[in-house]
Amino acid sequence: MNHTLPTISLRWIPVWRRNFLVWRKLIGPALLGNFGEPLLYLLALGYGLGSFVGEVGGLSYSVFLAAGIVCGSAMNTATFEGLYSAYTRMAHQQTWGGMLATPLSVDDIVLGEMIWAGTKSLLSAAPILLVAALLGLVHGWAALWVLPVVLLAGVCFGALALVVTALAKSYDFFLYYFTLIVTPMFLFSGVFFPLDGMPMAVQWGAQVLPLTHAIAIVRPLMTGQPLPHLLPHLLVLLGYGAVAFYLAIGLLRRRLLA
Amino acid sequence: MTATVQALGLTKVYSGQTVVDGIELAVFPGECFGLLGPNGAGKTTTLRMLLGQTPPDAGSLTVLNHRIPEDARDMRARVGLVPQQDNLDPDFTVLENLRVYASYFGLSGPALQRRIDELLGFVQLEAKAQAGISTLSGGMKRRLTLARALINQPDLLILDEPTTGLDPQARQIIWQRLRSLLAQGRTLILTTHYMEEAERLCDRVAIMDHGRILACGSPHALIKQYIEPHVLEVYGPEVETWQEDVARQHARRTERVGETVFCYAEDEGALLDDLRRRPQLRFMHRPGNLEDVFLILTGRELRE
Ligand SMILES: Nc1ncnc2c1ncn2[C@@H]1O[C@H](COP(=O)(O)OP(=O)(O)OP(=O)(O)O)[C@@H](O)[C@H]1O
Ligand SMILES: [Mg+2]
């Protein structure tokens, strides 16, 4: 692996912009999916399941769930973008190969793809936030601070996905990542139920998962509860993002510049 | 004159196999340089090293006065590439492909739009500006890839098999365009499996095999050096006997490939006299060409 430090410059912008222009072409179905799916989740689970569950930690279940859905959706969107879409651009369309014949470098591509994955998270989380607000599930304007947090979380999950993509020989490889990491994280980070009721081992285990920390910031922002440990949670997300960024660059330099 | 490309002892090893084996290359400004060789000879790998897309395992390399791979980014701003495999962006139209690719060079604005109009005209794709990539023919895709490679007004254009898979008309258009790029003073490096193409376009060619350069020079000089002035291709019943009894006496070299006997001769008179008395044998008499040189140097066995 080539261990020189990543070069960071604004050259990630054309990489990001290329993806954005493609996304814009399919904006109709994209936005329908972004609004429609979370609405269904909130209605079916929030109200359906909520009528059995009642209150969770002093919140109505719909209010509790809304923050979880925002974060879960941010993770899934960025992960999907960093795996399937990025792999298509790398292996099938040779989009990155085309970029590497220009002044762009592997580092620029990784940074652009990561930030694009974060942008996709934002594009999926913002509609959920809006829907939740319209349904009266959001406490106040402080909830807008959710947006930058979702962007950061999306960049972090996008970078993690790019590490997996860098190692993948085909799309099938992604099933390992989903089954072993993404799905357990989706279930045990406090999206659907609070972790306090779980055995201590599970509670401690959940602290390793970046999604737990995203939810720990987003839920208080949306519900108006106090947010005592903002900095440590942010640092966990930043740490995961930075390490994954470094790894993805090393692995992709080795793969693309072989 | 400083060389546009200067490679010394350039080497690439893939899992123990040396695929480019210490080659020396010098390409000069304004020339068209051809890299010829059978499948797997190491042509694409050599070009990837020139572009800084893979680091050499040994040797030194300078392209447009930039040390490669250290300084590859600045070099690539002044180079255009037509890759062996098309990698146009299928999600975009013809026009968008050019605009987006230009953005990778940091180009935008009215000057870019003028450049794009000019390039669409140059490759005769004005009518297709709004078309999707999947609607283009193979020849159109290749022309678009050529236009894309010219978006940054490159001093050096690298073309990896620019006409493979194209029909004769499409190939003629590409040749004509490449010639006008040479007339503009650009430097071209191309690889091809078509010897006629190399003979027509290239000022100099290097013939490569197993990662080594076997010969380098102008097509004319190589033909003169390696091939007798007259070549006869003879085929028909019992051509083998004729080869043994007659051809060997009058030709300096003879060689049988499949059902054809190739005779390479300083003087064609005696062979022609003999053949005219044997109507059952059919023959073609032609001057030596680059394909003869290529086959002599690289052998006639099939490569996998
Ligand atoms: N990334 C790689 N990893 C391992 N081996 C490689 C790699 N790239 C090329 N090779 C090997 O190096 C050798 C030379 O390949 P290269 O693509 O340079 O040949 P070429 O002359 O361009 O052939 P063609 O005419 O078929 O395009 C081949 O044996 C090929 O299998
Ligand atoms: Mg090749």
Alpha carbon distance A204, A183 (integer Å):
18
Q: Does B41 sit in the ligand 1 pocket, CB within 6 Å? A: yes
Is residue B163 lining ligand 1, measured as CB closer than 6 Å?
no
- Indicate the average pLDDT of chain A: 94
Atom nearest to B54 CA in ligand 1: 1
- Residue pair A212/A68 in contact (Cβ under 8 Å)? The answer is no
**Alpha-carbon gap, residue B229 to B231, rounded angstroms:** 7
Q: Which residues contact B163 (CB under 8 A, 6 or more apart)?
A: B142, B170, B171, B174, B175, B192, B194, B197
Position A1 scores a pLDDT of 42
- Model pTM? 0.94
Read off the pLDDT of each residue in A143-155 and give the average, rounded to a whole number: 97
What is the tens place of the pLDDT at every residue in A87-130?
999 999 999 999 999 999 999 999 999 999 999 999 999 999 99
Cβ–Cβ < 8 Å for A211, A189: yes
Q: From the CA of B45, how far away is ligand 1's center (Å)?
A: 6
User: CA angle, A163 as apex, A157 and A166 as ends, to 5°?
Assistant: 140
A59-60 and B32-36 beta bridge pairing: unpaired
- pLDDT, position A33: 81
Compute CA A250 distance to the chain's CA centroid, rounded to the nearest angstrom: 22
The answer to whether the Cα torsion of A239, A243, A248, A249 is positive or negative is positive
DSSP state of B55: -
The model's confidence at residue A3, banded by pLDDT at 50, 70 and 90, is low
B101 to chain A, any CB pair closer than 8 A? The answer is yes
Nearest partner of B104 among B127, B77, B139, judged by Cα? B77
| The three-state (H, E, C) secondary structure of B104-118, written as one string | HCCCCCHHHHHHHHH
Of A22, A94, A105, the CB nearest to B73: A105
Is A31:A127 a contact under the CB 8 Å cutoff?
yes
E strand or H helix that includes residue B149:
helix B138-149
pLDDT for B142 equals: 96
CB B297 within 8 A of CB B226: yes
Does residue A160 register a pLDDT over 60?
Answer: yes
Tell me how far apart the alpha carbons of residues B289 and B128 are, in angstroms, rounded to a whole number.
Answer: 39
Q: Is B36 in the pocket of ligand 1 (CB under 6 A)?
A: no
Spatial contact of A129 and A39, defined as CB atoms under 8 Å apart: no
Q: For the segment A182-240, what is each residue's pLDDT rounded down to a tens digit?
A: 999 999 999 999 998 889 999 999 999 999 999 999 999 999 999 989 999 999 999 99
Model confidence at A34, pLDDT cuts 50, 70, 90, reads confident
pLDDT of residue B190: 97
Domain locations in chain B?
228-287
Q: How many CB atoms are closer than 10 A to CB A116?
A: 26
* pLDDT under 70: residue ranges of chain B: 1, 301-304
Tokens 């993770």 belong to A75
Per the CB < 8 A criterion, the answer to whether B145 and B159 are in contact is no
Q: What residue owns the CA closest to ligand 1's atom 13?
A: B40
Contacts of B126 (CB under 8 A, 6+ apart): B117, B120
H-run or E-run covering B215:
strand B212-217
